[in-house]
Every structure is written in C-alpha cells, then in structure tokens.
Structure 1
C-alpha cells in the first residue's frame, strides 16, 4: 500500500496544475514520461526502472474500476479508500488498523478528497441520494473500544484557540466566494518563504504565482458549480486558463477577476444559503451551500457542506462515466492540485522540523480570515463547538493572547465569548424570528466548562547593540515592559470585571523558545500567580469568587541542544515559580532519546556562544547536584571549554576598571549568578554594594522583583562577583554581541551519556514537584526530531498500565501526563485522533524479537489512566 499512497500523493498533490490545464485532458498528462519526471522525489528510494514498474502497476490495475474495467486515474483513490474507509451513521470512519496509513496520506492531500470520492463511488453503485455532508473535519477511527473510553470525558489542556479552527478550509471558502478581496494578503504571503518544499524534475514546470493559481481555481469552481447546478448556458464569464500562472502571461485571469466576482455574487444571491450573523440576516458563507439542505447538517460542521457536495458531484459524474462531464475532468483535476498547493501554505505538511517552521504557518493563519467577518467567527466557533459536539470534552482550556490595556483585554475576552456562542451564526431557515436575534453578551462558558489561559508571547530581542540605550537597557527590555503592562491588565481585569475575568484560570508563555527565555516572564508569572483580589466591593456581591490562577509554560519543545531544552524547563520552574498544580507544555527535551537526537544532528551542533556557555555551566551544576560520577575526562573538557568561553564572551569585553577583568571566575560562581536571572535585571544595574533585600518596594509589582523562592540561599544576592556577572550579562553590549556569535559544538559519546544521566534525574525531580506535562503527539511529531508516534516520550514520562517489566516501571518517574491537540487546525488533527494515533502506534510497536511490544488491553488501560490524569490537570477546579 506504500506505493499506492505515494502515487496518490504524486498525482493529486505534486503534479503541475498548469500542465494539466494546458493539455486539457488529464489522461494525456499522466503518461510514463511525466510520471517519471514527477516521481523522482516521491519515489526517491527507487531507480528509474522501479518507478516505471510502479507506473505499469497503475496503468494495468489501479487505474481500473474493480467492477467494470473502466479506466480512469481517479480510481486510484477508490483502491485506497475501499480498504480504509467505512460509513457509519452517514459519516466516514477510518479502519483503525490502517489509521497510520490514512494519516500518512490524508495529512498531505486533505481528507475531503478521499471521503467525497469514497461516498461518490459507493453511492453511485447503490444509487443512493446523499444529503448529509457535514461530517467532522477530521475523521475518527472505527475503534469502538477507544470511542467508549473517550466518551467518559476528556480534558483538552493545550488548545490554542486561533490555531485550532479549520484555517485552510475557511480561508479557501472565503477566497472562492470573494476572490478579489485578498490582493494585499496574497502579496504578503508571496513575499514570505514558500513553505511548500516540493522539488520536481519536470521540464514542464512553469514560473507560477500562487495568487494566479488560486484565481484560476476560483474560476474553475464557478464553472464546475454552474455546470452541475444550473446549465452551461448560464456561464457568462470566459477566462483563458491555458497560460502559465504568472501575472505577465495570465493577464486575462487578472483582467476578468471583477467579472468573476460579480458572477459569484449573483450565485450567492440566487442560490446561496443565507445565515444570520451579527444581526445581519443576509450573509452567505458559500454559494455552494444550497438554500434547502437537510436540517441535520446544521447540527455539526455545516460550513463544509458546499465544498464537499461540489467535489462529491464531480466524482459521481466521473464514476458514472457521464460523457457531458468529460471536458470538465481536467479542470476538476487542476482544481484539486491548486487546492493542495494552497493548503500546503496554511497546514504544516512540508516535513520540516523545528518551531521556526511551525511559526511560519502560525503567523499566516488569519491572513484570509479578516477579523469580525463571518469566516473568522465561524473559524473560532467551529474550533470549539465542533470539537465538543464530536467528543465529550469535560474541561476545555482555550489559549488566547494578552493585551496591554485592561479595556482591550476585556473587549478581547468578551469578543471571544460572543464568537463562541453556538448561535452566533445560524441558518435563517432555523430561526423563526431572525430580526429579533441578538447576542450582545455571548454566552456563559462555565456551563460547558470552557475557560481561558492567557499566553504571553515570546518575542525576539531586537535591541540595537550599537546604541547608547543598550548600555542602560537589559536584555529583552521592550518585551519586559510589554509583559508588565499585560500583567497589570490581567490583574485590573480581575479587580474590576469579575464577570469576564472569572473565565481566566491560567497563564502561559508560548511561541519560539529561541526568541525569549523564561527569565523574561519571571516577574509577570510571580505577580499573577500570587495575585489576590483586594475585595473592596465584596460587600456588594452575592458571591465572592476569586479563581486561582495556575501556570503552564511552553518549555523544552525546540532547542539547539537537549541541554538548553532541559535548562529552559529548569528555568521555567525556578524563575517562574512553577509548583504543584502547574504544568509544562511539551517538555520534549525531558524525554526524547538523547543518543538518537545527537545522531540526527550528526553529533555536531551550531549555536550561539552564550548558549554554549550557559549550557556547560548548567550541565556541570546538575552533574554535581545529582552526584553523577561518570566520565571525569569529559567533565574536565567541559570545564576547560567553560574557561575559554568565559574569557571570549565576558572577560575580553569588560572594561579595564571592572574588577572581573583579571579575576578567575569559577563555573560554580557563574552558576550562582545564573540563579539570579529570575530577578528584575534593574536590581543589578548599579549600586551593587547595596543590600538588595533592603530596597523599598512601593507596590506589588516591585515586591515581585526578587525571586524569593529561588535561590533560597540569600548570601548569593550579596556576592559581589555574582552581581557583577549579572550586570555584565544584561548591560554590556559587547558581551551581548559576542554571545550571539556562532560556535560549532562537537558531541562526544561521554557528553551524550552525561546528558542522558541528567535527563533521567530531572524527570524524577519534576515528579517530586507534582508538575504535570501536557503532551501533544502530532505537534511534537511534526516539530520534534522523532519520526514515529511510538517514539513519543510520553512512554518515558509515564508507563504505568503499559509495561509489565518491574524494573522499567520502577525506573520510570510516572509523571502526570495528558494528551492534547495544541493547534489542531494547523496540524489537521483532533483530540480523538491524538489518542487513536498513539493507541495504534503502540499496538504496532515490536520488541527485539519482532513480537508485539505491548498488550492491546493494557494499552487501553494506559490511555484510561492518561484520560483521568488529563482531567486531574485541569485548571478548572469545578469539574
């Protein structure tokens, strides 16, 4: 089935849409020559002769209909879906035993391509008329046992609201229905790095512009819909699609876009289903959603109805061998290819690791979903309510961004509440008195156990190191000021707007770990975690409600070296005062296989000198703390490297008058100075001889300047050398410059074993603190460096109920873990899917003898424990 999957991906994702449009015949496009040219990348492990053999298999078998020998390349889809999909209660379900195969292909093609083809084919044979197309965005598996387990109730503890809606699907619908509205957005998108990393050896490829391709798709959709639902005579816009997709050659496409937009508006008015939205009773989401559809469609994912129905109708024409549709087949094929190419710019399918790659997708998720539009509201509404309708989520934690003023924060939360009202968008057919419908106040999230965690954003330090300001401003000065304002806004909301603030139960820091370390957020975290409402107006309240604010922190997700990943986790815990009831997001560095990671990096790392210096000092400190007594020679090497780096980064950049200039600073002293990074850097700007503990604090923010929880040894803040190191670290621009210079760091076998030993000890240390881990299997799989779900570190964190080996159970820290989705729209997943993927991956895992490594019944017991732990991790204490 591997070759079948790769052939589908080649023909329906990687093929050149312009070539298909020029030939005006899909069959002519798919010949031996073009298959070989395009198959180099897809079948990279095959020789030319072997790729040719694959083509012959397609031509003599997989292109044929099993029932009547009808030859068509679309039958390739049916050979795949017939083995993997089943229908249950009008919805498609995936054969559980083939779930990984389904995921491997559908992630790149999108699911609708295969589900609509599947239904069109089976309905054609049974002559069934289908009027339900609102199945869930991500198909569930047909695993009844897992479904029963999950229906007991789940917690979604890591769910970024604006990354979890069907970002591609709604963006596509918006463009297809309003093609002339996005000139600026396409310009912005095309100025950025293309995230579609497809390499083709075909000489037929042209210089393509994504905007032109998508405009062509909008016209093709208009043609297909008009033919299927009205008649060919109604098509009054003629556009030449045969030219290469660039502005110079496809000027006709650009010239006719206003005409196309007008024709689409006519379809909206005449045929489109109208929705009530923000008291506007005449909104059309998609002209392909007809006025009269079965009411059951509105109970679930109604926005997908039109696009799925269009694709289904096209497939039915093809499988019925309708001669009137033959001249449209190549258009439909090109439409599928353009759609896949655009999807690859919004859904992370480019196989690149690292948070930087993901953040490119994250940054563009709202380009084609303008704020306050019906598409943006549907985007957020579907993210939450589609998830809740399809699975029993008892605790739903939504991550949203903060604001710098309390009024903006209040309006932001109120706006989310309004958008999350299940009735914020309604079919006017379902409303008896549409003009009376108003939803000014949103709805009460508490009844559905929905609440918010505010996530601060990690931003790069763009300080100009040649400026005078760099001598008086600490690292990440601008971010620290922003975080202060955002923190005060949260506290003011809690003081003055309890009706809104009651939904906020946690804080977080998200985005790239390379942009800002935990020290930047430390004061804000301490402030909010310990914030108490003054209660000045309690005598006027019927109920005094002061929800506790918990904390979580994205740490150890992406890193240069496992050591800085572990250090980030340690800094988040110590500097931000994480303790019992708090959580860590991802924490991959804590559990991934150390040896595999360094082999993946070819035992060579390229990272900034400041990072190398901090890593070495931190690692040596942990080796001392945990009593690790191996590899004395490697420790000596690291100590010598520390001395050289300290001189390069610090000593050589200090003024002659600085007492540290000629002083030998031991790595133990440097580590003591590192402990003070959780304090407000301004405490170390000048007057280093003063007693920090005696400083006057005029308000609560100032009282949070000192991290009283760590280090507990007060004498460190009196050590003048430690103070001077912190001062130099923050306010010496030459040290900052030198610290950014790159260094290649060689990984030795001994270093690998030291890191592994520290990693093991840290897991048990975190367990003793009762800090939980939020795992996100697909997100971690796509951003991390492990290439199989079964390699996910969740089994290193927790294996109770999974393993039978007493030693493995004893050595495992048995951390509290949960399974979550992270950004389900960008990763094209669901909470059920995350559990199912982990379940089938564990079931298929083999031991050293080639036998199943885990007992299937024990896997479900294991997942049941994780389900319960997820509920126990919830920041909502009322569930």
Structure 2
C-alpha cells in the first residue's frame, strides 16, 4: 500500500466539496445536465477533465496516469447515478450518505469509525476496504471536514432529534471497543505544543464571528487557491442568512424557499437576495468587497448583536455567536447549523438556491481547512511551518487567559487523559532578564488561572481532571547574521554577534536561568514546570548550540533538594529533559549523528526522552529510494564522517564495517575544500575541533589580536587569519580550527551546499550505525516520543500503517528479545490542529496498523496497553494523588507567590 495513490483517491472522493475550482462554476452540475445524452455528456466530461479536474489536482499531486483519474471519477460519480437527479445537490447528498455508510457508525453514545468491511467498500475503495480504511481515513481526515459524514449518519438513521449531536465532538472516534477499554485505563500526552492544541472547529468559529480581534487576519489574502479574506467574510454573512432563514422562514414553512423569503420588495431584503444569488453563481459580490460592513449590517438588521468585544472570554463569544440568538445554546452552533441545513435539503430538495449557497459554504470551509491542516503531499518542517502559522496565529480571544482556557478545554475534556504535558516557548522578544521573568510570570498566572477554572468545572460535573505540566522549549533558529562572523571582533569588543550562534546561545541561557530561578523561588512550581526541550526546524540549529545549556540545567550543584519555609519542607522535583531530534534531516547520517550527539553530549540517561527520533526506526533502504542524491552544507557532511570516525576509533563499536583509510581520505578531501592550506591538519585534529563545538562558545577567544611588528607586516600569513601572528608556527592546530568556526573566510566554505551520492553499498553501513544508536538508547532507558500523524506528514514515513514505532518496539508481537527492538516508546499528538487529531485517535491508527499486519489481536492489545502505561510512567509529571481540594489550594498558593514575584518587578 503506497500513500501517493491513496492520497489521490482521497482527493477525488471529496472533490465536489473541497476544491475551489468548482466555486465559480460547478462542473458537476453541467455533467448532471448532460447525463441523459451520451454525446453531450462525453463532451462535458472531457471539458471537466481538462479545464477543472486535471489542473486542480496537478497543484497538489503528481499525476502519473490521466486515465486512472478518469476511471476513478467515473467510478465515484457514474453517469447512470447522475441520471437519477434533477439537481446536483441531490447527487451530493446521496454521495455523502454513501460515504457516511462506508465510514461512520456509533457506539456507547459516540460517533465512531466503522473499521469493518461493508458493501460500499469494494466499489469505492477497492483494496483500501475493511481494516485498510483506517489508513485511507487518516488521509481523508486531513483534507476534508468529516463532520458532514457524522451529521449524515444521524439523519440517515432516523436520529433527527438535535440532542443526538451531543455524541459528536469535532473528531470521529477511531478506537474500536476493545482498544477503547485499554485507553480507558488512562493515557498521557507527553508531546503536544500548547499553541497548536486548539481545533479547526475553534478556528472556524472565530472566523465566522469576525471581530476587531481577528479582522486584520481576514483583510489580507491569508489563504491560497482563491480563498481570500473576502471569501471567508462572505461565508460569515451567508451563514447568517442561511441560519436566519431556517428559523424564520423554513422553520414555520411560511415561505416556499429561501429565494422567496428574501424577495419582499424591501431594499435590504433584495440586497440579501442578490448577495445569495451571486454567491451561488460564484460571482464577485459588492457585499463581499465590503466584507465586515455587510456582516455588521446583517447583525443589526436581524437584531443579532451586540458583538463580543476584545477582552471577553472566547467561550462567551461562542455562546454569543450571532446565531445563538436563533439556535439552542446547548449545542455547538456550527454543528447544529449544518445538521439543520442537511436535514432541510433532504426534505426540500427543490430549494436550489439554498443548496447552492450551502455547497459554496462547504467548499470555502474545506479550503480553509486544507490550509490549516497539513496533508501528506510534501514532507519536512519547512513545509509544516506555514500550516502551523496559519492554524495558530488567528486570535481567538482578548487575553491570554481566555485563549489558554479554551485551548486546554479541548484537551482536558478527554476523560481518558490522566497527564497532559504542554510545550510552551519562553517569551521570545525579552531584552533583559527582568523582562523575561516578568513575561514568564505573567504567562504562568494566566495558565494556572485557566487550568484552575477548568478543573473546578470538571470536578463539579464529577469528571476526572488530568494532571498538567509545562515543558518549556527553546526555539531552534538560524543565526541571524549567517556566516558574517569574525572572532577577532568578539575578542576585542565582546560583540557576541561576531561568533557563530553566540547571540542565540546567550539568549537560550538567559531563558534557562529565568525558568530555573522561578522553579527554585516559588514552592511547588517544580511540580508544574516539569521539563525543557528544544523544538522547531531541526535544520536551523544543531545540537552543539544547546549542549552547554542542558549541561548547566542538569548540574545538581545549582539546585536545592527542598524548599525550606520555617518548619515546613517541600520536595523539589527534578527537571525532565527531552529534545526534538532525528525528525527532519537532509542525510540519514545527519539524523543519526544528531540523536547520538544529544544522548552523549547532553548526558541523557534513564527517563530522558527523544522527541520524534524517526531516523531510529525508518529503514535506511527505504530512505535511500527517495534520497539517492542529497544536497547539504559541506560542514554537515564533514561532521557526519568525523562522527563515524570517532565511533570507529572508540573501539566499542566493532560492528562498524568500513574502509577506514578511504573514510580518512574523504574527510581530508572535504577539509581541503574548507581550509585550502592543510599544513598541520590531521583527521584527529579535525575530530577534536568537532568535539570542541559542544563546549560553551568561548567567553573570550583563547588568544587575542596580535599587533604585528613592522618586520612581520610584510610577511603574509598563509592560513587561519592574516591579522594574527601564526602562533605555534604556520600550521593548523585544534585552537585555530576552533576559531575558524567563527570566521567568515571559512564559514562561507563550510556552509556551501554540496551534493552527495548515497550508494547502495552504503545502506549496510547506515543499518549498522542505526543499530548502534538504537541499542544505546534502549540500554540507557531513554524514551522515544512518537507522534504518528505528525511523523507521517513530516518525515520519511510512507504512510500511517508503516509508522516506525513498529520497528522500535516489537514486544508482544514478534516476541523478539533483541535490545534494538525493545526501545521504550510513547504515542502523542504533537500539534492537534495541524494534523486534525487527538491522543485517542493516534493510538487507534497504530492499533489498526498492527492489526493490518496480521498480528493476534490479544498481542496487539497487550502491546497497546504497554505503550499506554509507558506514556504514563515516562511523563515528567509525577503522580502525587492529591485530592481536588489540595490541588486547588496548591495552585492558589503558587498564583499568589507569582503575583508577589510580579510586583517585585
């Protein structure tokens, strides 16, 4: 099973509801109108393929066979089926019902995924039928708002009562009954970024209630593929018009259709009617250009204000959604609106204007969805970053407290969640330690206030409250000055920007010291600030920049064992250590080297964790298929080879089989391209210079600027730096090589991209090196935090059923006792909104992957339970069995201490 043809099928399955190519002119309507005439249909279908379908697909997918696409569309939307409908909306509703019957069921009061095979699977899905539907659903769930299928399931099965909507909460539950029982024992989320913990439903809610808080985001073209701010604002207005009609027109069936309802002869009514017709036809409307003004005019006309202003809680904004004046507040307004719209269209198919506007609304919503939720088409964190920014930059509330509360609520509503670690970046723009501490303190106050209030609400309903902890992550960034460095300027003037990554490293140290000081100063805060990490684009900042930081953080000489307050003693919890690494790498060697550097240079040991670590489980042979030629900076390739050389020379890795003399010669050839003059350079000296990078970047240069005498002035220095007298003779040594890392003359050549071939005979070496690193991690008890959906989208995972967690830990399935197959792993979400997932579904995708492999269900359930329990045990949050009252008292005391700390500044 390969993900490319699967992804193509997914795009075609939902093409009528997803692609903005149909916004201006619905080509399916033309096909339907021509369905009774074979010649006319053939011409219409040919035009549809060439002018709509192929160009739209070619934007996001490499098309191998046009014939394949034609046959798939013919299978999904056959001409014989089109003959049965007078309007395209009937075709769409019937097709949604078909998809719903194929994918959706319900169990224990919840809308769930239908993982077993049924009669519709073979016809539409072919080999992706049955259990393989889970893999296809994983892709579908990230290009299409599957909530429509949940609504259709209720309507098609006689559950028209709106109270049934309470069984649906944005994401379809994937776990089957037996896995559900395993997860009910409790799960831990140990790798999730707080800013991305929101949901698409939350973002869409804010977009459909535009206010001064998010208007700026809509005034610019924030979305690609013709979905600009004016389209989103048009949908906000259309939503009001549809909802108002359902209550005041269709509700009492006083009007035959929406066209008649808004055709009263009144100027404002006619304006609304004209807007709806233009919207249905995909025309640019005058109202769309006015955008926010037209939306506010509708609010005033329908008496649906006042709007929520800045500073008010987002939960209040949701409750005071303008449509909440019309629809019951006990439901999600969006769920209720779409549920009623579908029900109305099923009952009154003759209202074609209503249907046409509704499908336009769905297309724009799905286009926005596809720009906030990452699909499978391009890998790498560079591709991920725009999705993350679009999904997280939209302002949801007027204060940090309100946004944090709404985001945490989405996670803590999961009854199975026992521990929730959230990744948070320290304030990025603080210019001093004082500003940084104030920012940290203020953020913690908002965070604890939000958590406290949610915990009180959950406790009042008799529901469990997950323990919570913060892992501060330092953001990996490129050096802002690039290679424009001169260590002499630092030696003489102390200018940290003159050293490579020195300014960033100083900033990281300032952040770490502020975090550590707060943990030491505020009693019990160490139970909630539980760890540190470094995250974001792995290629931006190599581990050597962070190694001294983690060494200082781990130094027990700087930490107190207890808080001593009079007669009272309170234990200080140790800080946990994790690091994003081995996720997104140019060369397989780079990924392995970075992981090994973290393990060795950061002194990782039992209980520490590796974030992602995909390179540990991906098969080198599969990686090489896509990467037979790799482009990377020259210094990266050199250090990869120096890392191998160091492993070989250590004598503890006898399994490495390589041509040692050839390796040394390759190292020296690369070094010559950097240093030109090679006097004194040996492989050992280069390795020592590589090792020196993991120390804190020099506080002062080890030797200063040398004022040359008149006699020396005429003698040109052949190497290193022409402004410095050649100490120790005119040969390179370790010090000079170390200083060259902060010299533009050499950095430019170090960072120059080169192309490297990955030969088939090198695969065996990659496999051996991978085993060495994996064995080290397994022996030391280091836990790998996997994130199945994130890893499938970003790294070299073919598709969800081939996730590398199966390679890292094979207990209970292969019954293999080898160390390399016994790495401790956990399952997490990473960025829920970007991958449209939750922790339960991430477990479910791995579960179905193992079932698909043919393993015994009992063994798979035992394995899932072990991974679930390992997540709880490996969390940095210590289970202390506090009562609710004790927890609330502790948080209250911390907040008071934080307020006092803030007042001191």
| Fold equivalence (TM over 0.5) | yes
Shift of 1:564: 0.8
Matches within 5 A, 1:353-364: 353-364=379-390
In the alignment, which residue of structure 2 is the partner of 1:458?
476
Describe the superposition over 1:788-845 as per-residue Cα deviations: whole angstroms up to 9, x where unpaired: 22322212221111114xxx43263411111111111111111111111011111112
Contact 1:585–1:775 (Cα < 8 Å) also in 2: yes
Matches within 5 A, 1:689-728: 721-728=733-740
Shift of 1:406: 1.4
Q: Does 1:335 align with 2:361?
A: yes
In the alignment, which residue of structure 1 is the partner of 2:238?
220
For the residues of structure 1 that align with 2:456 and 2:360, how far apart are their CA atoms? 33
Shift of 1:867: 1.3
The alpha-carbon distance between structure 1 residues 773 and 21, as it changes in their structure 2 partners (threshold 3 A), is same
The alpha-carbon distance between structure 1 residues 682 and 292, as it changes in their structure 2 partners (threshold 3 A), is same
SS at match of 1:607: strand
For the residues of structure 2 that align with 1:457 and 1:353, how far apart are their CA atoms? 20
Q: Does 1:414 align with 2:478?
A: no
For the residues of structure 2 that align with 1:565 and 1:121, how far apart are their CA atoms? 50
Aligned length: 783
Describe the superposition over 1:669-706 as per-residue Cα deviations: whole angstroms up to 9, x where unpaired: 322322222211115722399xxxxxxxxxxxxxxxxx
Q: Does 1:582 align with 2:608?
A: yes
The alpha-carbon distance between structure 1 residues 141 and 536, as it changes in their structure 2 partners (threshold 3 A), is closer
Contact 2:809–2:823 (Cα < 8 Å) also in 1: yes
Contact 2:237–2:298 (Cα < 8 Å) also in 1: no
For the residues of structure 1 that align with 2:144 and 2:665, how far apart are their CA atoms? 52
The alpha-carbon distance between structure 1 residues 100 and 738, as it changes in their structure 2 partners (threshold 3 A), is same
In the alignment, which residue of structure 2 is the partner of 1:666?
682
The alpha-carbon distance between structure 1 residues 250 and 469, as it changes in their structure 2 partners (threshold 3 A), is farther
The alpha-carbon distance between structure 1 residues 261 and 739, as it changes in their structure 2 partners (threshold 3 A), is farther
Q: 1:306 aligns with which of 333, 340, 343?
A: 333
The alpha-carbon distance between structure 1 residues 679 and 35, as it changes in their structure 2 partners (threshold 3 A), is same
Shift of 1:641: 2.4
SS at match of 1:585: strand
For the residues of structure 1 that align with 2:860 and 2:561, how far apart are their CA atoms? 49
In the alignment, which residue of structure 2 is the partner of 1:173?
205
Contact 1:573–1:579 (Cα < 8 Å) also in 2: yes
In the alignment, which residue of structure 1 is the partner of 2:101?
82
Describe the superposition over 1:643-693 as per-residue Cα deviations: whole angstroms up to 9, x where unpaired: 1211112x23xxxxxxxx54242223322322222211115722399xxxx
Shift of 1:492: 2.0
The alpha-carbon distance between structure 1 residues 395 and 421, as it changes in their structure 2 partners (threshold 3 A), is same
Q: 2:692 aligns with which of 676, 692, 701?
A: 676
* TM-score, normalised by the number of residues in structure 2: 0.78
SS at match of 2:198: coil
Contact 1:579–1:770 (Cα < 8 Å) also in 2: yes
Q: Cα RMSD over matched residues? A: 3.9
Q: 1:475 aligns with which of 500, 509, 513?
A: 500
In the alignment, which residue of structure 1 is the partner of 2:136?
101
In the alignment, which residue of structure 2 is the partner of 1:8?
13
Q: Does 1:823 align with 2:834?
A: no
The alpha-carbon distance between structure 1 residues 61 and 79, as it changes in their structure 2 partners (threshold 3 A), is farther
Matches within 5 A, 1:424-823: 448-463=466-481, 465-466=483-484, 471-472=489-490, 473-498=498-523, 500-530=525-555, 532-533=558-559, 538-540=564-566, 542-601=568-627, 603-625=628-650, 626-628=652-654, 632-633=658-659, 635-649=660-674, 651-652=675-676, 661-683=677-699, 685-687=701-703, 721-729=733-741, 731-804=742-815, 808-810=816-818, 812-823=820-831
Shift of 1:313: 1.2
For the residues of structure 2 that align with 1:662 and 1:528, how far apart are their CA atoms? 39
SS at match of 1:663: coil
In the alignment, which residue of structure 1 is the partner of 2:876?
875
Describe the superposition over 1:116-171 as per-residue Cα deviations: whole angstroms up to 9, x where unpaired: 23223333xx65454634722221135110000011111111111111111x3222
Shift of 1:771: 1.2
User: Which blocks of at least 5 consecutive residues in structure 2 are unaligned?
Assistant: 36-43, 116-130, 250-260, 431-435, 491-497, 706-730, 881-905
Bigger mean CA offset, 623-632 vs 787-796: 623-632
For the residues of structure 2 that align with 1:672 and 1:64, how far apart are their CA atoms? 76
SS at match of 2:470: strand
In the alignment, which residue of structure 2 is the partner of 1:319?
346
Bigger mean CA offset, 110-119 vs 225-234: 225-234
SS at match of 2:877: coil
Contact 1:4–1:80 (Cα < 8 Å) also in 2: no
Shift of 1:36: 2.0
For the residues of structure 2 that align with 1:585 and 1:321, how far apart are their CA atoms? 52
Shift of 1:513: 0.9
Describe the superposition over 1:228-273 as per-residue Cα deviations: whole angstroms up to 9, x where unpaired: 122334974536477799x996554223531322323665746999
Contact 1:519–1:677 (Cα < 8 Å) also in 2: yes
User: Which blocks of at least 5 consecutive residues in structure 1 are unaligned?
Assistant: 199-207, 298-304, 432-444, 653-660, 690-718, 846-851
SS at match of 1:646: helix
For the residues of structure 2 that align with 1:165 and 1:280, how far apart are their CA atoms? 13
For the residues of structure 1 that align with 2:678 and 2:466, how far apart are their CA atoms? 64
Q: Does 1:161 align with 2:206?
A: no
Q: 1:836 aligns with which of 825, 840, 844?
A: 844
Q: 1:32 aligns with which of 21, 32, 45?
A: 45
For the residues of structure 2 that align with 1:101 and 1:871, how far apart are their CA atoms? 30
SS at match of 1:396: strand
Contact 1:557–1:588 (Cα < 8 Å) also in 2: yes
Describe the superposition over 1:269-315 as per-residue Cα deviations: whole angstroms up to 9, x where unpaired: 469999995599787452233577475x5xxxxxxx11111111111
Bigger mean CA offset, 640-649 vs 3-12: 3-12
In the alignment, which residue of structure 1 is the partner of 2:217?
185
The alpha-carbon distance between structure 1 residues 183 and 392, as it changes in their structure 2 partners (threshold 3 A), is closer
